[in-house]
Structure 1
């Protein structure tokens, strides 16, 4: 079994080399540096080293800058999100004992740190910041920019789960909930009625049990919003509901089942002001737009409303919106719940195949690799192999297939075609390539219902 080799985040910093070109003023180019316990000399030294590495590697690869640096003790990732702005994340690797090192396991553990996984996490750190604060270049005052970055990353870096990162961080996909035509039409009619009744709501997203059903937001923006919801908002709300249920109060349970704002005024009966409503920046479509972000929840449904940022929100507006939701949303939620209850979900056993499906066009993700509370070592190894196969896609072309057989009789298959990727991990002893191909075709048919490709 391959052991996770990351012990934590060594440092994280953002800098702009054009902010200072004079000797003795190097600190001015640093916009943010973590950890704060590193003195200024250490910060200047680390930033200067990265700047030198980037300039040096640009000499040999002018079309794209270096993306990572490997050492025995660290792994450093680089990302240039905007012109002249660089983000750097350094991972601290676990120390390898002399006994293990003597056996030659050092190289194996070093390979356990997959660049594509942590490069994706570094990029996600920028896109999440941009969602709430806009681009770096949009803030002209340098002190304001530094303050915005410090406020955001002070909390965000604490939420990173580096040792648990895997191939799903690379995809950052969206889990959709497929519905029958009639039920989906009810959702679409509800959204159309909502946006026509409230013209200040140009975009809406409709979720049910954390799965997306409808979105009027560009996929690239929805991808970031979905990651925020699935990692922060939905888990926090679930914890609140669980605590409410554990108190076994009928009034509390009734309040949780009724429609309410989980981002917005929490108590409209007592509210005198709307409070602080967050804003988000969307970059798809014709240009950048700044919008209020509000979420209304009823039972398993969550409706995300993107409200024009120049509109003055009032308590009366939210009361009117709440009344509309309570009157029109009930039947829609009921239909979705009824349809979902008829869908049979087969639980994964320990020997069941694990798969990941990802569509680059609509960012749809379907996965069973995390279906186990405590996945086996073989499954963990298979997920790492999937990440390795994914990193080879640029070299394999848009259509291809890779097959890997592990020492513990697991077969890991990666298939790509028409901007779709499908990865399977299954355990088959004494199986041939023909046997594995037949198993993959069966899995495509049962799980993807013909949306992928098959052998003729």
Structure 2
């Protein structure tokens, strides 16, 4: 259906596809579980059955360095640098991102009356661009979790956000679902978790950064004024009309496919922003989007969202700065609500790097992968060659990893240190001992 890179000759493509099919079929005779990966000295091949009879596979070259021995040069391959669990997560995410904007493979074929060329065109259009954005060398345990960073608010502010969204859905009946974010942190969502997870990934890694880049390059002020009330607000459409003064330009409005109430439900994705707060509106695809509708939405959203965003900003700025003890770093993930926290990474988007060595970071992914195969709660404690301690806990659908840099500590002291850390940072979360 799709092969990258395109310039590979047809014989090589046939060999690669044939080998993949052979491996998948051959391994089926030994187990009910699908084949996940193939390890060779120079490459790693990872398989993913995206839908029934549809397989995706990615081949990654193993990093190597050239060495000299007895006057002869040879290549030393770093097999541990490529992790199946991380690569599989990247492959799975690429499928989910495709489905978000195109619908499932089966759905595309059903709408095209079985015309395979339509599916091939969609795959080519999406993946040729998407592959350029994959940074496999920078991928780690956060890509495995693909979680969401939440913004906890006080009860009154949270209820105010929810009332605002309820009123929005009641006033504009064509709005099916809504989500509210502040900066890159999720406050509330009306979508199913899997839908919100991939939507969050798209918003925080693609849509918001490109919008902010355009805003920095643009000299025009983003303050709008509603004529009816003459009230100033800072609201603006991120997807939708770039300017409410130009009725000829409705802007780019993505169509997305979600599975919250029904499978492959097609919606327009409207995103409106005021200050640092963003509201996502998923409007039924059968709705005709008119300029008059955008004006009404702007008049409703602008003043209210500006006021809420200002209040959240005041509350956000008054928070005490997190004084993270440099002795330890941690990563936390909750499988039930997809919440994740990290002090291992300099920022939530991993743009500014990590605070720990790469081999220690890979160790976290390995421990998590081992824990995922265990149905029960478990704990793993590892001491690295650099005398750094790594503790991984899996408890009640939650995963918690701590890196402690105490060279002369023993196992009992490390265990006590982890208990103190849990009590200080996760006092409302119960970890089984």
In structure 1, the partner of 2:229 is: none
Deviation at 1:313, TM superposition (A): 0.6
Question: Shift in Å at residue 374 of structure 1?
Answer: 5.1
Moved more, 301-310 or 339-348: 339-348
Q: Give 1:113-124 correspondences, 5 Å limit.
A: 113-124=82-93
The reply to whether residue 87 of structure 1 matches residue 56 of structure 2 is: yes
Q: Which residue of 1 aligns with 2:291?
A: 315
Residue 42 of structure 1 and its aligned partner are, at CA, apart by 1.0
Are the aligned partners of 1:398 and 1:419 in contact in 2 as well (CA < 8 Å)? no
Query: What are the superposed Cα offsets for residues 158-214 of structure 1, whole Å, 9 maximum, x if unpaired?
Result: 010011011111000000000010110110111111100111111000000110000
2:431 equivalent in structure 1: 453
Output the CA distance in 2 between the equivalents of 1:174 and 1:418.
18
What is the CA deviation profile of residues 214-254 of structure 1, one whole-angstrom value per residue up to 9, with x for unaligned ones?
0000001101111111111122123233335xxxx6x5364
1:231 aligns with 2:205: yes
Q: How does 1:199-278 map to 2 (within 5 A)?
A: 199-244=173-218, 252=221, 254=223, 258-278=234-254
* Corresponding position of 2:162: 188
Residue 54 in structure 1 maps to residue 29 in structure 2 = no
Q: Distance in 2 between matches of 1:170 and 1:434?
A: 30
Distance 2:329 2:381 in 1: 15
1:67 and 2:40 matched = no
Residue segments in structure 2 that go unaligned for 5+ positions in a row: 225-232
The CA deviation at 1:68 is: 0.6
Deviates more, 1:337-346 or 1:270-279: 270-279
Distance, in Å, in 1 between the alignment partners of 2:293 and 2:327 is 51
Instruction: Give the alignment's Cα RMSD to 1 decimal.
Output: 2.3
Equivalent position of 1:366 in the other structure: 341
User: Gaps (5+ residues) in structure 1?
Assistant: 1-30
C-alpha separation in 2, matches of 1:397 and 1:358 = 17
- Deviations for 1:367-422, whole angstroms, at most 9, x for unmatched residues? 1111174545x532221111010110134333111000112121111111111111
Once the two structures are TM-superposed, the CA of residue 98 in structure 1 deviates from its matched residue by 3.9
Give distance in 1, aligned partners of 2:428 and 2:419. 10
Q: 1:164 aligns with which of 138, 156, 175?
A: 138
Q: TM-score, normalised by structure 1?
A: 0.86
Hey, what does 2:230 align to over in structure 1?
A: none
How many Å apart are 1:73 and its aligned residue?
1.1
Secondary structure of residue in 2 paired with 1:137: helix
Counterpart contact for 1:133–1:280, Cα < 8 Å: yes
Instruction: Encode CA deviations 1:111-133: one digit per residue, 9 max, x unaligned.
Output: 22110000000011101000000
Provide the TM-score with structure 2 as the length reference: 0.91
C-alpha separation between the residues in 1 aligned to 2:405 and 2:38? 35
Aligned partner of 1:288 among 246, 253, 264: 264
The separation in 2 between residues aligned to 1:46 and 1:274, in whole angstroms, is 45
Q: 1:445 to 1:242 in 2, by over 3 A?
A: farther
CA pair 105-167 structure 1, distance change in 2 beyond 3 A = farther
Counterpart Cα distance in 2 of 1:281 and 1:41: 36
Q: Do structure 1's residue 134 and structure 2's residue 108 form an aligned pair?
A: no
- Equivalent residues in 2 for 1:401-440, closer than 5 Å: 401-440=379-418
- Determine the C-alpha separation between the residues in 2 that align with 1:279 and 1:135: 14
Q: CA deviation at 1:280?
A: 0.5
**Against the structure 1 CA distance between its residues 307 and 365, is the aligned structure 2 distance closer, same or farther, given a 3 Å change threshold?**
same
**Is this contact kept in 1: 2:272–2:280, CA < 8 A?**
yes
Corresponding position of 1:357: 332
